Structure 1
Amino acid sequence: MRSLSFVAALVLALMPLGACACPPVVERYDGPEATLATWQSQLCHDDVAGEYRCLSTDLKRRLGNFSAYWTARDLMLDDQPLLRSALRAIDLVDHIEQRRQDDVSGYAELTLDVYGETTLIGFRRETLLLVELERGPPLVARSDESLAGLYQAVGGRRWIELSGTRLELTPEQLAGARSILLEHRWTIDAIEGLTGATP
């Protein structure tokens, strides 16, 4: 008797390409499941830069650089052809077998079961400060601390401090800022099977 994984892979491989469609790209990072869906849609559309935006600052540091992620991700997909096929055929969020989340530490894990093969993906909550400018690329600062941990108040003055990260704006940049966004984002911190990113 053939394994379920083999049969599922065969069915996916024989599906006409027109029957497969990538999920639309909707960038959301408000929870591990939202980030997983964003990452899947970017993978399906082969938008490596979009995938890279889903990764935590620490994972990017562990991988080394964008090129290292691109190489590791291609190796992972080559080693897991079932995952490559599943990206177009299923919604990974529907295949979460187990979910653990600790809001105090800001860490979560999702265990996926795709046609009998399990994959563990770790997530980290980061705080993102994003300044969109009229001209030039956006300015970005990230921190592992919660928003409450960044808030400081002394003698009637209040400010937000991202430890270990400094974002400096000239008066001209501040005057030309279209928006300043401060939010929590859940980012991928570990992917089982991705070289350099194992949980």
Structure 2
Amino acid sequence: MVYYFKARPAAGDYVIYMGLDKHENEDLIKYGLPEDIWFHVDKLSSAHVYLRLNKGQTIDSITSELLEDCAQLVKANSIQGNKLNNIDVVYTPWLNLKKTPAMDVGQVGFQNPRLVRTTRVEKRINEVVNRLNKTKVERTPDLKAEREVHNAAERAERKAQIREKNRRVELDRIEKEKQAEIRSYKGLMVSDKMTSNKDIASKGKSLQEMEEDFM
């Protein structure tokens, strides 16, 4: 079971989601997408909350309003964290998560600790939490299938980009050859290198004589 929430409309059309328990979190860790940002209460047990950004966005695209929604949802879904004030919530791109065989179910580490950010949550804001809970939808998605569909779309897009790049390279090559041919033609047509019939007559030579001189 995965719980889905809608961020505040003013923040944009974003989906926030989390697993039912630590076992569900294992699949979320395994089948996340590059656009996902992971949230967790620092040093305390809490739900694993994910924010799915739009394609092309990064962690720097998260606005303060959107960050507050995610941080409040994480705090509200931490048994200890929900009771405390001034807690820290850590967040990082899904791609930065690390899972090793030695880790317990639901436990996760980081590839690069420098890519982990922290936001301070002074207290629970019921208005935010209640608004998010009103948008809550429970679903049982096929996370593996969703990941495969995403990967297929990514591959198709990369192939299209490669085709477009090759097309542009070929057009550039053709244009360069065309310009080189034009320059070569202009070089052959330079007037001071050409001999007209008038020039031949002024020198008193016939066309046949000129041809014999050339030979």
Instruction: Give the shorter-chain TM-score range.
Output: under 0.3
- TM normalised by structure 2 equals 0.24
Which has the higher Rg, Structure 1 or Structure 2?
A: 2
User: In proportion to residue count, which structure has more strand?
Assistant: 1
User: In proportion to residue count, which structure has more helix?
Assistant: 2
